[in-house]
Amino acid sequence: MAEHGEIKVVEIKKPIKISPTDQKIIQELLINSRIPASELGKLVHLVPASVGNHIESLIKEGIINQFLIIPNLIKSGYKIWFVLIDIPSEDQESCIKSLLKYPSTLSILKTAGRYSLIVGFTGKDISSLDKGLSIISKSVKVRDFIILPVKEMAFEPYRLFERVKNKEDHKTFEESKPLTKEDKLILRMLSGNARENIVNISKETKLPAETIIYRLKKLKERGIIERFFTNINIFSFGFQGYVLMIKTLNRENQNEIFDFIKNHPRTNGQYMLESSWNILTVLVVKDATELKSFIDDMQKKFSKDILSYETIQILSQELYDPFPKGLLN
């Protein structure tokens, strides 16, 4: 299994076939990576030990990359920027290597088309973005780039398979407050493995189990923790990923389009932007036909509201660290 934030994607020559039971396990873990083995076992008709064996096999096969905690960084008082970069293909690896060392790097995607990389940065202020851009410019020759500041984010995970239960999350958030020392200790532990049990978290943080359970509950109620998510290697069983960017005709219709994007089963992470582009999301689809179906559906619903859109194919995920270590020090 990959280390904290690091993605190790093995080249897949032939898509892996997974059983209906594994499909059910994967989908429940996408919705909540901390679901107890006992509860998951009831849903898929397995004893907890067998559930653990299935999960270990999915990790060994390279299907499960990470168990993640997904924070709402905007609600936590941080800023997010996505940077689309065009650099020579021969410089990609050196650029990625430099960015992996930067503690404010949120994500790195290799992409096809006029932009070769999409990099996410986060931090308390613009200096985190400036340092990230400086790292890129010093390591490679940048031919073109655009910066997309995020003003609002959500995280409704995609649905690859049918869920065993039709239970939807209903979120009501309390007023956001600064993270406490205890919050950061707990988040630091969970950022490495969102399925870490309370006993081990208590042992490492020296916090009572009751405190940890209470702090996690409050972090979810405040919207700091969006959800517990499982990062899946979608390429391993034949799915494709695309970044979708949308320009709306005016700001009045953004919320309606954003809600459509957020509630669609094929989108993974949704961002409202402060730029000429207004919305960004990641699409997970089986093939180009399903991608076209999504676009057609979107165009049909919002033909008068969307000025333009662009899709960028994802070739690989080099890094996904939703709570970079630089934020928790």
Residues with Cβ within 8 Å of residue 279, at least 6 apart in sequence: 245, 246, 248, 254, 257, 258, 261, 270, 271, 272, 273
- Over the stretch 210-244, which tens digit does the pLDDT of each residue have? 999 999 999 998 888 999 999 999 999 889 999 99
Give, in order, the Cα–Cα distances in Å from 132 to each of 98, 171, 299: 10, 34, 35
318 belongs to a structural domain = yes
Q: Whole-number mean pLDDT of the chain?
A: 90
- Over the stretch 256-273, which tens digit does the pLDDT of each residue have? 999 999 999 999 999 999
117 belongs to a structural domain = yes
8 belongs to a structural domain = no
What average pLDDT score do residues 306-319 get?
A: 95
Q: Of the given ranges (97-101, 160-164, 173-177, 197-201), which has the lowest mean pLDDT?
A: 173-177
The confidence score (pLDDT) of residue 8 equals 45
182 belongs to a structural domain = no
Which pLDDT band holds residue 10 (cuts at 50, 70, 90)? very low
238 belongs to a structural domain = yes
The confidence score (pLDDT) of residue 12 equals 47
- Over the stretch 116-143, which tens digit does the pLDDT of each residue have? 999 999 999 999 999 999 999 998 999 9
The confidence score (pLDDT) of residue 11 equals 47
The confidence score (pLDDT) of residue 47 equals 96
Do β-strands 105-111 and 306-320 pair in parallel, antiparallel, or remain unpaired?
Answer: antiparallel
Residues with Cβ within 8 Å of residue 147, at least 6 apart in sequence: 81, 82, 83, 129, 275
What average pLDDT score do residues 35-63 get?
A: 95
The confidence score (pLDDT) of residue 251 equals 78
Nearest to 245 by CA among 310, 153, 308, 301: 310
Tell me how many domains the chain contains: 1
CATH code for position 277: 3.30.70.3460
The confidence score (pLDDT) of residue 173 equals 47
178 belongs to a structural domain = no
The confidence score (pLDDT) of residue 57 equals 96
115 belongs to a structural domain = yes
Residues above pLDDT 90, as percent of the chain: 77
- Over the stretch 161-189, which tens digit does the pLDDT of each residue have? 888 765 555 454 455 567 888 998 998 89
What average pLDDT score do residues 52-71 get?
A: 94
What is the span of the domain harbouring residue 133? 79-157+233-323
The confidence score (pLDDT) of residue 199 equals 96
193 belongs to a structural domain = no
Q: Is the confidence at residue 6, as pLDDT, over 80?
A: no
